[in-house]
A and B are shown apart, each in its own frame.
Chain A
Amino acid sequence: MLEYATLKLIWWGLVGVLLIGFAIMDGHDMGVGTLLPFVGRDDVERRVIINTVGPHWDGNQVWFITAGGAIFAAWPLVYATAFSGFYWAMLAVLWALFFRPVGFDYRSKIHHPRWRQLWDWGLFIGGAVPPLIFGVAFGNLLQGVPFYFRPDLVSVYQGSFWALLNPFALLCGVVSSAMVTAHGAIYLMHRTEGEIQRRAGRWLNACLAVAALAFTVAGLWLARSIDGYVITSAVAANALPDPLAKEVSREAGAWLANYQRWPWLCGLPLLAYLGWLVTAGLARAGRTFAGFWTSALALGGVIATAGASMFPFIMPSSTHPASSLTVWDSASSQLTLGLMLAATVIFMPLIIVYTRWAYRVMAGKVTADYIREHSHSAY
């Protein structure tokens, strides 16, 4: 069996992979949901837009569910502390997501314009709110979150929902929203034609610009005036996890330390910029499929940048730094990590294979004619 420290490290990477997978797969249909009321001007156009993701949104959403389950299994303390601490933010995500299954399935079952408009805005909320809140959550993790552990490891969160909505965190929310909406726009360009495709193209350029700008400002802000965290005691990577067994201090510039130590990590933010730049070019050249994947690379670059800046921290505590959760002291047992790794290695390739098949079966442009021919079965 792999060494405990290695397994902990692998799981840090795997949670990252699951989050990036979630951003790529569920991100594009959330982006499509966000754009729906703006890009689709009449009912047929909106049905075209919805049906580009109609057969896939549910499978994509499982990335979110599985990321949640994997965090539960691999980092029980993070699952417990983050989700109970960010209680109302988490509920806002869940409640926004409620609009998606019903919005997709129920919208076109009734012919009333008011009914359909209502669900269109439901799909907008379900698409726009979660990426915004996830960005805000990352923004708060980067600043540290007010919580501590009692000796029996009961976590006590001391902040409020409104304190989460601070300027830096909101800026991170903008990065997240813009990049996910851009990702939805390039997907929409790939699956539609004509006027919808052109409008999606305009949204793509605007969102890419906002994403790059906000990412730059957030990066500078982080480098200049947001304190990072450092473990000041000896790091016991192989030890049994105990988040109260270390000492942590808060230091200016600590979030840049990893880039100084491993300069190749600077490739991650560069990947984001490069991905966005190439996406814009590919979209202009009409190569939307390649553009989708370069946009995906950019999403990966942004999320990995946030993770790499904080490593080995996952959830630093601003009020009791010693209670901070790190890669080394948040993990589940060696047996569970090993087992979950095996399950992931077996099932993830299968999932990718059949998801790809599902997309290939449904490939091609969704058109107004398709909607008219399938008016009883399409969304």
Chain B
Amino acid sequence: MSIDHVVDVSRLQFAVTALYHFLFVPLTLGMTWLLVIMEATYVMTGKQVYQDMTRFWGKLFGINFALGVTTGITMEFQFGTNWAYYSHYVGDIFGAPLAIEGLMAFFLESTFIGLFFFGWDRLSRRQHLLVTVLMAVGSNLSALWILIANGWMQNPVGAEFSYHTMRMEMTDFWAVVFNPDAQAKFVHTVSAGYVTGAMFVLSISSWYLLRGRDIEFAGKSFRIAAAFGFASVCSVIVLGDESGYTVGEAQQTKLAAMEAMWHTEPAPAPFNVLAWPNEATMQNDWQLQVPWLMGLIGTRSLSQQIPGIHDIIAVNRARIVSGAQAVTALARLRQQRDDAVALARFNAHKADLGFGLLLKKYTDDVSTATPAMIDAAARDTIPKVAPMFWSFRLMVALGMAMLTLFGLALWASVKGDFARRPRLLKAALYCLPMPWLACEVGWFVAEYGRQPWTIYGVLPTHLSVSTLSVESLYGSLAGFIGFYTVLLCVEMYLMVRFARQGPGSLGTGRYAGDSASLHLAH
């Protein structure tokens, strides 16, 4: 049973490192465009305050970006260190977007971020704006390629298994790139990043306004954040992942789990606003439903059914039985490549190979799997319902709260009286953690919801790990948690310190609490 332990600790380490990384990424995605907007306004109007805004918010952006880079380094290599079999099995497809991300996006972003910070007095205004735009394009392109890779994990299109090389191989690159899951995820995720950036600027500006300092600077920042944030939060909600849910089977399973739909309901299905999912009895102890709503959101039709958990398990059970045939035939083929009987059997059941591999959790020789093992493997194909159900609801609730806040903030900016609305400003300040929470929960829904697979229907999570010892894994997990936590504390300290000091930290002499005048005082 130690292999289960290795899998659990490996998953925990991946979750910890990815969730830490994802604390910094959304803010980067959003801030780059906010900086573009501020600097473009500076170039168009020539007003100094917009350059100061670009530089000050850029300074905070830099503090965040440093940890984004730090935690990002791990992500590029962790597939190899901790998910070796995964890397071998799907590297032919999954590695390509990662490498292209480096070539197309990271170089762009990282080269121009240096000029963004240090090029102010060496570049013309337009050149510097171009640098900022290229930095923003780079960071958003990196999101595109990593979500293409992630989208393929959810919906593995454009690839086929080869028994010669014992791995998945790419057959259609453009199918991988234009995977509808990947596209839906990209739009949803970058929009969530834009909301994060907007909330960051809105909250901190509100704090200055509440204290009555740097009014012009904070007011202009508030307006930009309110408008950008409102547009982005609408985009997150309208173009949410939900539109992609009916596309692939993985998403159907995820949908059933996060909506706690145990049974297939007649179309259009009702929506469970609240429910108490019971994993043991496989039903909801109680539920509060709105008729029709789920069917409308999920399928955009009145007649299409959405499969419930029991039906999905039944379908998957049949696929496991068929997949076991493929696994046995494959083992034979690996010993005897020209065994025509084995090849015929393998080809007949190839589509279910991944499902057959689910049995490896229970027995090495899947041909001897008992009905009880098959039942257990079929039950495994559904992630735990309650965590999915509640985290999804938390994410949506946070989205709705932010929609309300940005709506009010935009309305107040249009009327121009936001500086005199302390309650709105306070709300904006206290809502600061919301987008981060929503992003982390969103990551959880997407990735936990794909379990028990790393690649849906292709490769189970428990086969994906490296052959490492549990001791090594505990050691590295402790190291990552220790390192990241210390660095996060340092980052928070600097962020709070510079946010408190405000634009005075630029040392221009134009703002409250200016560093230059503080120095003279010393």
Contacts and interface: CB of A to CB of B under 8 A. Distances in A.
A155 interface: yes
B106 A65 contact: yes
B111 A355 contact: yes
B315 interface: no
B400 interface: no
Nearest to A64: B73
A105 interface: yes
A361 B123 contact: yes
A84 B102 contact: no
Interface string B127-140: 00000000000000
A344 B102 CA distance: 10
B120 A97 contact: no
Nearest to B114: A55
Chain A interface main SS type: helix
B77 A94 contact: yes
B368 interface: no
B174 to A, nearest CB: 10
Interface size class of B (residues with CB under 8 A): 35 or more
A72 B91 contact: yes
A77 interface: yes
B164 interface: yes
B280 to A, nearest CB: 35
A305 B325 CA distance: 49
A375 B516 CA distance: 10
Contacts of B69: 58, 61, 101
Interface string B477-518: 001000100010011001000100000011100000001100
Interface in A233-283: 240-242
A339 B73 contact: no
Given A87-B472, A362-B115, A101 B77 contact: no
Given A242-B164, A333-B92, A347-B104, A55 B85 contact: no
Contacts, number: 252
B73 A97 contact: yes
Interface string A51-80: 100111111011011101110111011011
Contact of A56 (B101, B103, B114): B114
A88 interface: yes
Contact of A151 (B63, B67, B104, B334): B334
B178 interface: no
Contact of A106 (B74, B114, B494): B494
Contact of A240 (B98, B165, B472): B165
Most B Cβ at <10 Å: residue of A90, A97, A154, A378: A154
A358 B111 CA distance: 7
Nearest to A82: B80
Contacts of A153: 85, 88, 166-167
A82 B91 CA distance: 14
The B interface is mostly helix, strand or loop, or mixed, namely helix
Contacts of B54: none
A65 to B, nearest CB: 5
B284 to A, nearest CB: 41
A9 interface: no
A143 interface: no
A220 interface: no
Given A66-B103, A81-B84, A91-B479, A336 B96 contact: yes
Interface residues of A, number: 72
B173 A76 contact: no
Interface in B84-128: 84-88, 91-96, 98-104, 106-108, 110-115, 117-120, 122-123
B82 A94 contact: no
B162 interface: yes
Given A151-B335, A242-B164, A66 B99 contact: yes
B81 interface: yes
Contacts of A54: 114, 117-118
B144 to A, nearest CB: 14
A69 B166 contact: no
A282 B67 CA distance: 39
Given A101-B66, A155-B85, 18 more contacts: A54-B117, A57-B114, A69-B95, A69-B99, A72-B91, A76-B91, A80-B80, A82-B80, A84-B81, A84-B468, A87-B81, A88-B476, A91-B81, A97-B70, A101-B65, A102-B67, A336-B92, A354-B107
24 contacts: A68-B102, A69-B100, A69-B103, A76-B87, A79-B87, A80-B86, A81-B84, A91-B81, A98-B70, A98-B73, A98-B483, A102-B66, A102-B67, A102-B490, A102-B491, A105-B62, A153-B167, A242-B166, A332-B169, A336-B170, A343-B99, A362-B115, A376-B507, A376-B516
Interface of B: 55, 62-63, 65-67, 69-70, 72-74, 76-77, 79-82, 84-88, 91-96, 98-104, 106-108, 110-115, 117-120, 122-123, 162, 164-167, 169-171, 173, 331, 334-335, 466-468, 472, 476, 479, 483, 487, 490-491, 494, 498, 505-507, 515-516
